[in-house]
Chains A and B, each alone.
Chain A
Amino acid sequence: MNKLIRFLPLILVFALGLVLYRGLSLNPKDIPSALIGKPMPEFSLTKLTDESTTVTEADLKGKIILLNVWGTWCVYCKYEHPYLVDIAKSGRVALYGLNYKDERIAANQWLRDYEDPYVFSIFDESGRLGVDLGVTAAPETFVIDSNSMIRMKHVGPIDTRVWQDKFLPMIKMIENEQASAQVSNQVKGMNSDD
C-alpha cells in the first residue's frame, strides 16, 4: 500500500501526459455544430438567379438535401466545385446552394463561367441565414433529411475522400431509416386493409 502511494505522483504525471498528448492531435478548430438534430431554420430570401422569386425552407425538397454554403470570394469553393457537379449528377441527393455574403452579379457570372450544380441557390447577402445556421465561413455543407432535420455539418471543402468518409455513411444511414420507415408504413397500410 505504502509502495503504491510512493508511485502515485509518477502515475499522475503519466496520466496528465497522456491527456495532454491526446490534446496535441485534436483540432481546436473542429467546433461541433449546435444545429445537429434541429430543424432547418426558417428563412425568406430571394433566389440568386432571380431577385423577384422568394424562397423559403419549404422550397428545399428532396429525400436527402445537401445545402452547400458558397461564395465567389471563397477559394476552396472553386476547389470543391467539380466534386459538387459530380454529386449533383449522381442524383442521390438534392443539392441546394446558399450564396453567402456575396454579390448577385458576380455570383451569377461564377455559375455561368463554371457550371451550376445547384437546384437553386439562396441569395443571403447579409449573412443572416448564415448566422441562423451557425455558419462561420465558406465552404460549409449541411445534410438535411426529408423531415427537414439537420443531420450533419461539414466545414471545409468536399472532395472524394471527404465524400466517402464523412458524407456517404450519413447518407446511407438516412436512406436506411427512410427505407425502414416506408416498410413500417406499408405494414400499417396492410393492417388497416384487413
Chain B
Amino acid sequence: MINSIVKSIILILFTYVISTSSVIASSVDTYQFRDEVTEKRFNELNKELRCPKCLNQNLADSNSPIAADLRREVYDLLHQGKADIEIMNYMVERYGDFVLYRPRVNSLTYILWFGPAILILMGVLVVVFIIRRKPVERKEVELSKEQKDKLNALLQEQQTKDKK
C-alpha cells in the first residue's frame, strides 16, 4: 500500500520535472517549420551562434531583443534555402567573429586552437627529458684499512652490549 503511494508520488514528481525542463528548453517565439530537419538546423544554429549583446549566452538562451531579431533572421535564411555555412557567414559579416562560439582558425586564433596542444607537448617533452636523464653514477668506494678497523670495533662493542 505505502509502496504504491511512494511510487505514484515519484512518478508525479518525475513527470513534473520532465515537463518543466522541456518548457525551459524551448525558446519563447513560436515558429512553424516546414519540416523536422529545418527545425533541428534552426535549433543547432541558435546554439552555435552567440548573442552579440550578451556576453555568454547563445541565441537560443537569450531573451534580449537583438537575439530575438537574429533568431528571426536565422529562420528566414533557413526558409530561403540557405546552407548553415552561409548563415554563419551572414552573421559574421555583420557581427564579426564574436558571434561564433567556435572561433574560426585564422592567424588571430592560432594560439587559441593550438596553444593547449603545444603546452601539453611541452609538458610531455619535459617529463621525457627528466625520465631519460642518466641517473647520477654511484661509484663503490672501498673502505680504507682504518675505516674497516673502526667499523669492526663498533660492531664488537655493540655485540658485547647486547650480550649483557
Are A and B bound to each other?
A: yes
Q: Which of B72-128 contact A (CB under 8 A)?
A: 73, 92-98
Identify B94's interface contact among A32, A126, A131, CB under 8 A.
A131
Q: Cβ of B73: which chain A residues have Cβ within 8 Å of it?
A: 131
Does the CB pair B94–A127 fall under 8 Å?
no
In the complex, the chain B residue whose C-beta lies closest to that of A73 is B65
Would A32 and B96 count as touching, CB distance under 8 A?
yes
B55→A28 contact, CB < 8 A: yes
A33 on interface, CB distance cutoff 8 Å: yes
Binary A-proximity of B56-84 (CB < 8 A = 1, otherwise 0): 00000000011001100100000000000
Complex CA distance for A136 and B69, rounded to whole angstroms: 10
**Cβ-Cβ contact count across A and B, 8 Å cutoff:** 39
**Contact flag A127-B69 (CB < 8 Å), given A31-B52, A136-B52, A136-B53:** yes
Q: Which residues of B contact A35 (CB under 8 A)?
A: 94
Confirm or deny: A47 has a beta carbon within 8 angstroms of a beta carbon on chain B.
Answer: no
Cβ-defined contact, B53 with A33, below 8 A: no
8 Å CB interface, A128-155 against B: 130-137
Q: Hey, which chain B residues are within 8 Å of A101, CB to CB?
A: 65, 69
Report if A26 contacts B (CB, 8 A): no
State which residues 20-45 of A face B: CB under 8 Å: 28-29, 31-35
A93 vs B73: C-alpha distance when bound (angstroms)? 33
Q: Is the CB of B96 within 8 A of A31?
A: yes
Tell me whether B53 and A137 are in contact (CB under 8 A). Answer: yes
Nearest residue (CB) in B for A34 is B96
The size bracket of the interface on A is 10 to 19
Q: How far is the CA of A126 from the CA of B53 in the complex (A)?
A: 17
On whether the beta carbons of A34 and B94 are closer than 8 Å, the reply is yes
Which residues of A sit under 8 angstroms from B95, Cβ to Cβ?
31, 34, 134, 136
Bound-state CA distance A133–B66 (Å) is 12
Min CB–CB distance A6 → chain B (angstroms): 14
Across the interface, which residues of A come within 8 angstroms of B55, CB to CB?
28-29
Least CB distance, B119 to chain A, in whole angstroms: 11
- Write out the residue numbers on chain B whose beta carbons fall within 8 Å of the beta carbon of A34: 92-97
**A33 with B52: in contact, given A101-B65, A131-B69, A136-B66 (CB under 8 Å)?**
no
Residues of B within 8 A of A31 (CB): 52, 95-96, 98
Which chain B residues lie closer than 8 Å to A33 at the CB level?
A: 96
Q: What mask results when residues 37 to 51 of chain B are scored 1 for a CB within 8 Å of chain A, else 0?
A: 000000000000000
24 CB contacts below 8 A, A to B, read A28-B55, A29-B55, A31-B52, A31-B95, A31-B96, A31-B98, A32-B96, A34-B92, A34-B93, A34-B94, A34-B96, A34-B97, A35-B94, A126-B69, A127-B69, A131-B69, A131-B94, A132-B94, A134-B95, A135-B66, A136-B53, A136-B66, A136-B95, A137-B66
Question: Chain B: residues with CB nearer than 8 A to chain A?
Answer: 52-53, 55, 65-66, 69-70, 73, 92-98
* Residues in A lying within 8 Å of B, measured CB to CB: 28-29, 31-35, 101, 126-127, 130-137
Other than the known A127-B65, A137-B53, what 12 A-B pairs have Cβ atoms closer than 8 Å?
Answer: A31-B95, A31-B96, A33-B96, A34-B92, A34-B93, A34-B97, A35-B94, A133-B94, A134-B94, A136-B52, A136-B53, A136-B95
Enumerate the 10 nearest inter-chain pairs by beta-carbon distance, A residue then B residue, closest first: A34-B96, A134-B94, A136-B53, A136-B52, A127-B69, A31-B98, A134-B95, A136-B66, A131-B73, A28-B55
